[in-house]
Amino acid sequence: MNFNINIKNNSIQVSHITVNLPDHNSNEFSIFQDFVPYFGCETNYDAEVKIKKKAKEHNLKVSFDSEADNIGIYTKNPEKMFSLILLINELASEKYKIIFTLEEEEQLKSALNKWKRPKKQRWKEGDIFSIKLSNGSYAYAQIAEKYEGVQPVCVLFEGTYDELPELQNLLTKKIIALLSIVGYGLNDFTYKVIYSTTPVIKVPVPRKRDSVRYITYDDSTLIELAESFAGIKEWESNLDSMVIKDNLVPWLKASKI
């Protein structure tokens, strides 16, 4: 078989091409990678031109969102992704080209068509979720605000735990950081919601630049913060802006639980 389905990573590996399947965070099939070695051309721009030309010849409409080092190709239609894979294989240099059997083509098409997008974790303002750290312990954070109904603005509680703490225990802990994250980790259950209650703070609206809501960090930043506070890893200066300073605490209005 010339392809491998990786359910854990929601992907299908077809030779050197990784096809990302619709998952908790995207409803599209996609390919995002460097095509220069695959096609044997000088730049990804050249590779993109080849793909677009071939796609036009086959009346195949897909979306492109490319960078200098990678080409991104997207479609919600599994049949179009199947056609795209065959098209890309036609353009590949001999080193990478696959000779598909009819049976393998049918298996690949079937795998794409039968794929069911996994359901997202439901999360809302006030939810408290766990953050697994590299040493096996857990930190905890709360969604203090769902900005514009989409973006989680989170507070990180002080401390790490080997066992699930009681809700009231968590609510007595000092809040050590405040930041907005993308939310992918909440969607795909990396950060599991364990409790739900009134937000412990009301996120302030500053008079000037709103760095809390307008700067969004990768979800892994919560892990980095928790591990740095716990001494699991060294502190990096890029985390400073997310730390709640003592002189800002009065600015955060505690809610009554």
| Residues 233 and 221: beta-carbon distance below 8 Å | no
Q: In terms of domains, do 99 and 147 share one?
A: no
Assessment of whether the complete model's pTM goes beyond 0.85: no
Q: At a CB cut-off of 8 Å and minimum separation 6, what does 33 contact?
A: 17, 18, 70, 71
pLDDT at 238: 81
Residue 86 lies in domain:
3-114
Output the pLDDT for position 246: 52
Are 56 and 141 members of one domain?
Answer: no
Last residue of a domain, one of 81, 114, 147: 114
- Give the model confidence (pLDDT) of 36-60 as tens digits: 999 999 999 999 999 999 999 999 9
Provide the pLDDT for residue 116.
94
CATH number reported for the structural domain that contains residue 42 in this entry: 3.30.1360
Residues 16 and 75 in one domain: yes
The pLDDT tens digits for 3-21 are: 676 666 899 998 889 999 9
The closest of 118, 114, 129, 122 to 194, measured between CA atoms, is 129
- Say how many domains are in the chain: 2
The pLDDT, as a whole number, for residue 215 is 87
Comparing CA positions, the residue from 181, 250, 257 lying closest to residue 218 is: 181
Q: Residue 111 CA to chain centroid, in angstroms?
A: 23
Query: Is 134 part of any domain?
Result: yes
Tokens of 214: 């307008």
Residue 199 is assigned to a structural domain of this protein: yes
Examine the fold and report which residue of 91, 114, 137 is the final residue of a domain before the chain moves on.
114
- Are residues 14 and 94 both part of a single domain? yes
Q: Answer yes or no: is 121 within a domain.
A: no
Mean pLDDT in consecutive groups of 10 residues from the start of the chain, 257 residues = 69 90 96 94 93 96 91 98 96 90 92 94 97 98 93 95 96 93 96 97 77 88 94 86 59 39
